[in-house]
Chains A and B, each alone.
Chain A
């Protein structure tokens, strides 16, 4: 029997992947709030001229993802959701390059590097969480039967127990052929 006196660090407590997921959740929330509240300023900073409505929508997406990561017992699906969001962000930044002037191109390039860096963190986090799950699945309790003999040999060992009347099935619902079949009600004149 495996008895741990303390859970192993990194599994019983928050693993590094879980801590990273939490950090990414807060990051999502902060970025989302900035995008939702001040899309104009964010667009100016990124070189995304005239795309305030789009940035506001991305802000709502970030807030929802951040909340889901922080509230969920299993943040992994939401981290994968963030990776999808990173791809959309990169595509949006790349598409803006065509109409950008030189200064905006510089801002857009810096933003793309930053998003790529965050995307790498997201991917590392998702892999780490998957690894945690794999570790979690590594326990085999196949020897924990709780019986002195095999379950097959123990089947029915408590047949000496009499189910109390208040917990018995009504006769009418017992299996056909058990000798407990219901009798048909007879009219009183018979």
Chain B
């Protein structure tokens, strides 16, 4: 089959690789009908995340049709239409039973490495480093799904792939980012980053009833999409984020802050951004936490910081004094996809939201490598790429 294969920094190729096979009774193989490039794939493309090996297949936003089922898998049958959550989960362990699927204790087959790096393992992920299991990703013609009897979202016929695909990651990620803010009708929710997750977080915050939603970015087309979703926008290359947020909140700061940026913040004109670049270049820091610092600084005391953006390692100069003295709550985590998807699928079916609004490019698998660069460099108005293998 053909797949998008990682070979090094900014080196992804469309290649022929062996077809996946059933390896365990709970597995299934799906024929991929649609997949997408995620913002967090760019951390691998730029090689900021450790643990990739040449030859790894990319991708963790995937849907398709079941074509083969393991002997112990009674939940799926050939022909079922499924969206595959990016987190692989067993459904049986203590964390899964509590609904914390993204920290499943059993699905990471490289648990020993994760235990050493993070203290305790998190769930296995598709196409996202050997730290999370080294599983083949879904930017391919076929995908092997481990623990497939639990790791799936069955979806009905009659709704387009484009409306359903993002149940795999960005929609529940943006949703959880807003949900864990516990939004009140009096709240201002500030969202850093208007990429795909930021766009979903904006719409989630609106649906959950925030008084005002403020979105921060510098890319004009992303800001225009954010405004379309109901956000007041701040172009951080043109104005001071802190001043503007204080202005919009009567000088008190937003109650709820969402980081939809993560480890590759592109701040301009700030001293800490230059500092992070220099430290990263000298391998003294892995991530650039400008957004975290700004959120801690501007958030209203007793507010909530919700971190949906992906971080990979070590950060520096976090204003711990402000974080502690302001009584801020910090909520983080990869989203527990299946905890939200029944509800979100219902909202899509009822027409409350159509997540396909975010798609700007649809291409074939062979154009995937070129689209990684286009997406990374924010060229050609690119916000979300869907690939049809």
Contact = CB atoms under 8 A, between A and B. Distances in A.
Interface of A: 1-8, 11-13, 73, 132, 136-148, 150-152, 154-159, 161, 163-164, 167-170, 173-175, 178
B182 A142 contact: no
B220 A139 contact: yes
Interface in B349-384: 351-363, 367, 370-371, 373-374, 376-383
A154 B225 contact: no
A139 B357 contact: no
A174 B224 contact: no
Given A2-B381, A139-B381, A145-B228, A156 B185 contact: yes
A167 B353 contact: no
Contacts of A164: 99, 179
Nearest to A139: B381
A163 B204 CA distance: 13
Nearest to B306: A167
Given A139-B381, A145-B230, A155-B210, 4 more contacts: A148-B354, A157-B352, A158-B209, A164-B99
A140 B179 contact: no
Contact of A2 (B210, B229, B360, B370): B360
Nearest to B383: A141
Contact of B182 (A12, A138, A140, A163): A163
Nearest to A150: B230
Contacts of B360: 2-4, 139, 141
B331 interface: yes
Contacts of B331: 167
Contacts, number: 156
A146 B229 contact: yes
B325 interface: no
Contacts of B358: 144, 146
B206 interface: yes
Contact of B363 (A5, A156, A158): A5
B329 A140 contact: no
A155 B186 CA distance: 12
B327 interface: yes
Contacts of B383: 141
Contacts of A2: 360, 381
Interface residues of B, number: 59
Question: Which 4 pairs from chain A and chain B are nearest by CB?
Answer: A151-B230, A139-B381, A156-B209, A146-B357
B241 interface: no
B147 to A, nearest CB: 23
A141 B228 contact: yes
A140 B304 contact: no
A175 B302 CA distance: 9
B378 A136 contact: yes
Contacts of A137: 220-221
B349 to A, nearest CB: 13
8 contacts: A1-B357, A136-B379, A145-B229, A147-B353, A150-B230, A156-B185, A174-B184, A175-B255
Contacts of A151: 206, 228-230
Nearest to B303: A173
Contacts of B362: 3-5
A6 B208 contact: no
Nearest to A137: B220
Interface of B: 99, 179-180, 182, 184-187, 199, 203-204, 206-210, 220-222, 224-225, 227-230, 255, 302, 304, 327, 329, 331, 343, 347, 351-363, 367, 370-371, 373-374, 376-383
Nearest to A155: B206
Given A7-B361, A12-B380, A163-B182, A141 B224 contact: yes
A155 to B, nearest CB: 5
Given A2-B381, A145-B229, A167 B186 contact: no
A8 B357 contact: no
Contacts of B329: 169-170, 173
B143 to A, nearest CB: 23
A140 B363 contact: no
A8 B360 CA distance: 13
A141 B196 CA distance: 13
Greatest chain A CB density within 10 A among B182, B186, B207, B381 is at B381
B207 A158 contact: yes
Given A12-B379, A158-B208, A167 B224 contact: no
Contacts of A138: 381
A8 to B, nearest CB: 6
Nearest to A156: B209
Nearest to B359: A3
Nearest to B180: A167
A2 B361 CA distance: 8
A101 B230 CA distance: 71
A4 B302 CA distance: 45
B343 A161 contact: yes
A139 to B, nearest CB: 3
B377 A73 contact: yes
A21 B8 CA distance: 23
Nearest to A159: B209
